[in-house]
């Protein structure tokens, strides 16, 4: 039986290689337990060129969000140096929103993402800054903000020199959809949410809305038109799933959210992205390579 920890590690390894444009064996990706292994193999070269040109256009759009995050951290550091907490807090909100919109891409840079927005730690990154910045009477988190700024500046430099391929973008889309499915399904103690609460473990409803916006931008820029040409049914389904998820996230706080419907929505989106992979024509993994 493959352990959950091992499986997560294989998913991450496959994702990084896919985003970098490297070939991943069907056996490796299938063992990782993800249908996005379908992105391995060859498709029509002309179609691949169209997709990768669209991915290059998406890279530039995402670069604008990264630039916003970088500028926001610079603004936040300057405000903290001047003891202007109101400006620093607003800058933090802007940084967080911009970074959430880039989550499709962060799988490629786990060593940087772990210092910007780690999953299980509030000692570094955005959460470390917020823990002090939004707590009355706590000294301003200038060292934490400076460390975050350094990480984001590095992220911007590394990203500028990286090539973003279409198969990497669709891998990031599917993986984020599946991770959000897991998070909404078991990562939150929904029955313990107090009325009006807007944040749990450093995540807010607004964060989820921003991430979904970034995912939709990636889909529409790189894949929507091509998948529509090949299978309008799949393309329409994904468009409706994005619309449904946006409606579910259009609430003020977690206690007003239909968590079961949100989990089902992210699962449906993940499955549809996997269907789109096959519609595009990437080769599926061999069944004998799977493990469970």
Share of the chain above pLDDT 90, in %: 61
Let me know if 93 is exposed, middle or buried by CB neighbors in 10 A (0-12, 13-18, 19+): middle
pLDDT at residue 20 tops 50: no
Give the mean model confidence (pLDDT) for residues 206-210. Answer: 92
> What does the block give as tokens for 1?
């039986």
Task: Give pLDDT, residue 194.
Answer: 53
Share of the chain above pLDDT 70, in %: 77
Task: Give pLDDT, residue 6.
Answer: 35
Over residues 80-93, the pLDDT tens digits come to: 999 999 999 999 99
Task: Give pLDDT, residue 197.
Answer: 56
Q: How far apart are CA 211 and CA 65, in angstroms?
A: 12
B/e letters for 170-188, b = 16+ CB within 10 Å, e = fewer, are bbbbbbbbbbbbebbbeeb
Give domain 18-24+35-283+285-289's CATH architecture: Up-down Bundle (1.20)
> What does the block give as tokens for 286?
């061999």
Q: How far apart are CA 30 and CA 197, in angstroms?
A: 39
Over residues 95-154, the pLDDT tens digits come to: 999 999 999 998 888 889 999 998 777 789 999 999 899 988 999 999 999 999 999 999
Give the mean model confidence (pLDDT) for residues 27-39. Answer: 40
Domain ranges of the chain: 18-24+35-283+285-289
Over residues 159-186, the pLDDT tens digits come to: 999 999 999 999 999 999 999 999 888 7
Q: How far apart are CA 115 and CA 125, in angstroms?
A: 5
Strand partners, 200: 203
């Amino acid at each position: 039986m493959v352990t959950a920890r091992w499986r997560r590690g294989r998913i991450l390894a496959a994702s990084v290689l896919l985003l970098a444009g490297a070939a991943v064996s069907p056996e490796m990706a299938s063992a990782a337990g993800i249908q996005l292994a379908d992105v391995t193999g060859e498709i029509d070269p002309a179609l691949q060129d169209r997709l990768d040109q669209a991915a290059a256009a998406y890279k530039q759009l995402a670069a604008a969000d990264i630039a916003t995050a970088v500028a926001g951290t610079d603004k936040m550091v300057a405000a903290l140096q001047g003891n202007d907490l109101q400006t620093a807090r607003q800058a933090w909100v802007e940084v967080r929103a911009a970074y959430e919109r880039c989550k499709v891409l962060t799988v490629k840079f786990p060593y940087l993402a772990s210092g910007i927005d780690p999953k299980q730690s509030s000692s570094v990154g955005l959460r470390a800054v917020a823990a002090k910045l939004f707590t009355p009477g706590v000294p301003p988190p200038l060292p934490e903000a400076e460390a975050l700024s350094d990480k984001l500046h590095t992220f911007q430099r590394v990203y500028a020199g990286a090539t973003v391929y279409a198969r990497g973008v669709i891998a990031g889309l599917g993986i984020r959809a599946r991770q959000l499915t897991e998070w909404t399904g078991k990562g939150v103690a929904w029955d313990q949410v107090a009325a009006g609460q807007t944040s749990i473990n450093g995540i807010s409803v607004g964060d989820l809305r921003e991430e979904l916006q970034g995912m939709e931008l990636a889909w529409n820029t790189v894949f929507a038109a091509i998948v529509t040409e090949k299978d309008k049914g799949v393309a329409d389904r994904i468009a409706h799933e994005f619309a449904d998820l946006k409606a579910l996230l259009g609430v003020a706080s977690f206690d007003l959210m239909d968590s079961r419907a949100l989990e089902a929505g992210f699962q449906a989106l993940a499955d549809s992205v996997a269907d789109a992979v096959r519609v595009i024509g990437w080769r599926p993994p061999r069944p004998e390579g799977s493990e469970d």
